[in-house]
Structure 1
Amino acid sequence: MGEGQPSGTAPRQLALDLLQGVWEEKMLLAELEQHPHFAEKPAEIRARAARLARTTLRLAGRADAAMKPFLQRPPRPGIQALLRLAVVELLAEGEAPHGVVNAAVTLAKREHAKAAPMVNAVLRRVVENGQGGWDKTQPQRLPNWLRGRLGATYGNARVSRMEAAFEATPPLDLTPKSESATLPDGEMLPTGTLRLAKAGQVSALPGFETGDWWVQDAAAALPARLLAAKPGERVLDLCAAPGGKTLQLAASGADVTALDISEARLERLHENLARTGLTANVVGADALEWQPEAPFDAILFDAPCSATGTIRRHPDLPFAKDGAGVKPLFALQAQMIDRAVALLSPGGRLVFCTCSLLPEEGEKQLEAMLERHPVLSPDQAAIDALAGFEPDWQAAPGALRTTPEMWPERGGLDGFFIAALRKA
């Protein structure tokens, strides 16, 4: 807590700093949370601030609609962020109005003193209007650069369902290391992922200290299951960090090489291997230049991508990124696909995947790679053998597409495109 800050304003001030970093500076929360301004705060303040920021990012559109009738003109960005935060606390989280309004007025005086009376008046009107002003609002809309692309692919009605899915705080998904793993209480999904509706502190859960599981979205766990690595096989995890898929491959008994260009991200992979007691040959290098001693029996390539499929877990992403940064990724993905094919033994298996909702990073990449590489063919048998496979996931022969509005009764899925292929 900062010196002289009331206990109620410290986490709110930190949440406000995060929100302004996303909306005004176009930075990702992961970057902002590494900054000393955030990292040096007490753990309980950081935790509450991060939760408040993520919830506000998910519900900002609703908050704008709920307070719009009481605003004469759009407020300046810092005050708008503060109002959104307070409205979400009042109407989505049911916090006591007195505490929320007082804290918001205090923060408004720091941000722009003349705006404090307006903040007080707007929030009091929001409280008077009650929950009805919230229930009639619509889910947060994706920014135009992304909504237009997705609407052209999936149709606006389906995109609206995705936006509704993005509002909800996602459950915690765990991948067990083995059938005998010590696990917390939760729902075992058909695909083999354990899902926890409310997890609390992850490191305090049964099985964490003993390395019996790791955090990994159910959709993110599918590519390694589709590759079905076997004991003793030479397997390459291309773009491996932070390592969830590497852990899956290593747990199968395969001889795994985990390759990634980012030494910083590989530190997390080393930590995960140490905690779980699994082993892999970890290599920090550029995949386009790295030369292995011999080709691989199987390769999992989780390509660098827009990450648009992970918005339910990263609500800052649509605001911190724009369409300009996406297009260069398409060419890089194609280059790295060609490299993966070159590193694969004849008869070997390749699983290509992206955590993206954009067809240019999925379906269209698959079409193009099959044209460039006649030695590749779709492996539909691998899809058919996948535990928990549902027919509406099928995107093309040998390929799956998951989207966030799927499994609504279970808490949704990240958006992934996954293709299984064999080399002649």
Structure 2
Amino acid sequence: MPRNPITARALAVQTLRQIDQRRGFSNRILAEQFERHPDLERRERGLTTNLVYGVLRHRGRLDALIDAVAVRPKNLSARAREIARVAVFELRELQHPPHAAISQALGLATALDPSGGLARPLHAILSAIDREGAAADARLAAGKPLDVLADRWSIPRWLAGRWIANLGPDLALARARALAEPPAVELRVDLSRTTADDVAAALREAEPKALVEPIADQPQALRVRSGGELVRHPLHERGLFSVQALGAQRAALTLAPCPEEHVLDACAGMGTKSLQLAELMGRRGRLVAADASELRLGEHAALRRRGGLDVEGLEFTSVIADLAADEPQPGVDDSTYDAVLLDAPCTGLGNLARHPELRGTVQFADIAVCAALQRRLLDRSRARVRPGGRLVYAVCSLEPEEGPRLVRAACDAGSFTLEHEETWTPEAHQTDGFYLARLRPS
């Protein structure tokens, strides 16, 4: 007898529990879940995605609402609380009909505990939030700035305190609000092979409901909402566009590699920036993509195919290397470079909208750990730049220790001259938080 297909809400609860237990990246764990359920309808996949990311973005607020009305909030099991979070998110953010959200949650609870011992308190919690949720949200938004950021906007208290101290309460609140919004997907168009207008037209044709917009002063970039699964689009398969956040695009543009140069992508990851560098070089010159992860570099074979990188005139090499190590790294340190892109490992705290699980996994101590690694990478990368060459340092974090303070300390020590720096913020640019600096070794 065939099994009943899993529902979007059941899969969302399952995915959220996996993210919590494994402390992993939400996009990867969600992709794994979809692979296990290939027959899930597109509409259900969309709802699952919306629920997972929405709960992660609003988790602190959802817990505050639940705890305010539950008789014994500490007695809720982890799975019961996850069911409650999903239903409360539906009620308060998605404005789904209460009978639908509550009945679905009670169905999941009854499947876990047929005796009704779980469904009864859950019904009481959800009914109370249905009645009183608007007033409760208003109370959460009316407290002291630290409490508002933590309880209404789900920013970890330690981070909320830093923002208030560094930005002031008004700007901190604007940042928190921006990071609570579902982010658009940002694309980079390969202008050497197509145009942004042609890509936008193709995306609208494939998904009539898609909202595709150019971004001012960024001719290679598009911002897309409701575009469906863009990585399955034929133009993505052909490498004519790549999914890439705007700040990450800016890093390669600021490095401005030229044809025939020798270029190093020092923390290449899965290679999206490497492909952009090759495009900017006109696919002529020598490009080394280095990363410490063999798994991430394993994606470069597909990258070569998508991006048309196996062409005469371009020498593209992927190298497994620890560029923070003291000892020379074969394949990387055989010569120096005209240009080095160091998009360094960081806390990712500028990505709390796109990777909302970081709200629960990153801790205050991680900032110092990342900054120490970034200093080592920056110091080692300096030695890899030829005299007269240039380096761009970038992080998807807005914490000063990982960005401007680190760069200014290196410049004050005489290691670099700062030529240019940029900061992209969620509240000002409707994108991920990102910092970059173009440096000349002294």
TM-score, normalised to structure 2, is 0.82
- Structure 1 residues 107-116 or 363-372, which shifts more? 107-116
Superposed CA deviations along residues 51-102 of structure 1, whole A, max 9, x for unmatched, are 3111111123443455555322323433222111001123322333333222
Contact 2:61 2:154 in 1 (8 A): no
Deviation of the 1:3 alpha carbon:
6.7
Distance, in Å, in 2 between the alignment partners of 1:188 and 1:243 is 24
- State which of 268, 271, 290 in structure 1 corresponds to 2:329: 290
Matched to 1:421, the amino acid is L
- State which of 4, 27, 32 in structure 1 corresponds to 2:29: 32
Cross-structure match for 1:166: 179
Distance, in Å, in 2 between the alignment partners of 1:270 and 1:325 is 33
Distance, in Å, in 2 between the alignment partners of 1:31 and 1:221 is 22
Cross-structure match for 2:103: 102
- State which of 137, 143, 154 in structure 1 corresponds to 2:167: 154
- State which of 10, 13, 29 in structure 1 corresponds to 2:10: 13
Matched to 1:306, the amino acid is T
SS at match of 2:268: coil
Residues 375, 320 of structure 1: CA spacing in aligned structure 2 closer, same or farther, 3 A cutoff? closer
Matched to 1:245, the amino acid is K
Matched to 1:188, the amino acid is P
Superposed CA deviations along residues 282-319 of structure 1, whole A, max 9, x for unmatched, are 11121234143210000010111101111110011111
Cross-structure match for 1:118: 121
Distance, in Å, in 2 between the alignment partners of 1:224 and 1:173 is 15
Matched to 1:418, the amino acid is L
Cross-structure match for 2:437: 419
- State which of 301, 305, 311 in structure 1 corresponds to 2:346: 305
SS at match of 1:229: coil
Residues 341, 165 of structure 1: CA spacing in aligned structure 2 closer, same or farther, 3 A cutoff? same
Distance, in Å, in 2 between the alignment partners of 1:415 and 1:216 is 13
After the TM superposition, which residues 3-402 of structure 1 pair with which residues of structure 2 at under 5 Å, given as runs? 4-5=3-4, 7=5, 10-23=7-20, 26-30=23-27, 32-33=29-30, 39-42=35-38, 44=40, 48-67=47-66, 70-74=69-73, 75-111=76-112, 113-129=116-132, 138=141, 139-178=152-191, 180-181=194-195, 182-185=198-201, 186-189=212-215, 190-192=217-219, 193-205=221-233, 207-253=235-281, 254-279=285-310, 280-287=316-323, 288=325, 289-291=328-330, 292-372=333-413, 374=414, 376-379=416-419, 398-402=420-424
Matched to 1:290, the amino acid is Q
CA RMSD of aligned residues (A): 2.6
Residues 116, 28 of structure 1: CA spacing in aligned structure 2 closer, same or farther, 3 A cutoff? same
Superposed CA deviations along residues 91-133 of structure 1, whole A, max 9, x for unmatched, are 3223333332222112223445512111123223333447666
Which is bigger in relative contact order (C-alpha 8 A, separation at least 6)?
1
Contact 2:106 2:122 in 1 (8 A): yes
Residues 129, 148 of structure 1: CA spacing in aligned structure 2 closer, same or farther, 3 A cutoff? closer
Matched to 1:191, the amino acid is Q
SS at match of 1:401: strand
- Structure 1 residues 227-236 or 23-32, which shifts more? 23-32
Distance, in Å, in 2 between the alignment partners of 1:27 and 1:208 is 26
SS at match of 1:309: coil
Residues 98, 224 of structure 1: CA spacing in aligned structure 2 closer, same or farther, 3 A cutoff? same
Contact 2:247 2:433 in 1 (8 A): yes
Deviation of the 1:236 alpha carbon:
0.4
Gapped regions of structure 1 (runs ≥ 5): 380-397
Contact 1:184 1:205 in 2 (8 A): no
Matched to 2:69, the amino acid is F
Contact 1:240 1:258 in 2 (8 A): yes
Residues 16, 177 of structure 1: CA spacing in aligned structure 2 closer, same or farther, 3 A cutoff? same
Contact 1:60 1:84 in 2 (8 A): yes
Deviation of the 1:368 alpha carbon:
2.0
Deviation of the 1:331 alpha carbon:
1.5
SS at match of 1:419: strand
Deviation of the 1:269 alpha carbon:
3.4
Superposed CA deviations along residues 202-227 of structure 1, whole A, max 9, x for unmatched, are 13546223221100111111111101
Matched to 2:438, the amino acid is A
Distance, in Å, in 1 between the alignment partners of 2:21 and 2:321 is 34
Superposed CA deviations along residues 233-277 of structure 1, whole A, max 9, x for unmatched, are 101000011222111110022421111010111123332332121
Distance, in Å, in 2 between the alignment partners of 1:232 and 1:43 is 48
TM-score, normalised to structure 1, is 0.85
Cross-structure match for 2:146: none
Superposed CA deviations along residues 167-225 of structure 1, whole A, max 9, x for unmatched, are 11111111111153441242221223111132112135462232211001111111111
Gapped regions of structure 2 (runs ≥ 5): 142-151, 202-211, 311-315
Residues 212, 303 of structure 1: CA spacing in aligned structure 2 closer, same or farther, 3 A cutoff? same
Distance, in Å, in 2 between the alignment partners of 1:29 and 1:204 is 19
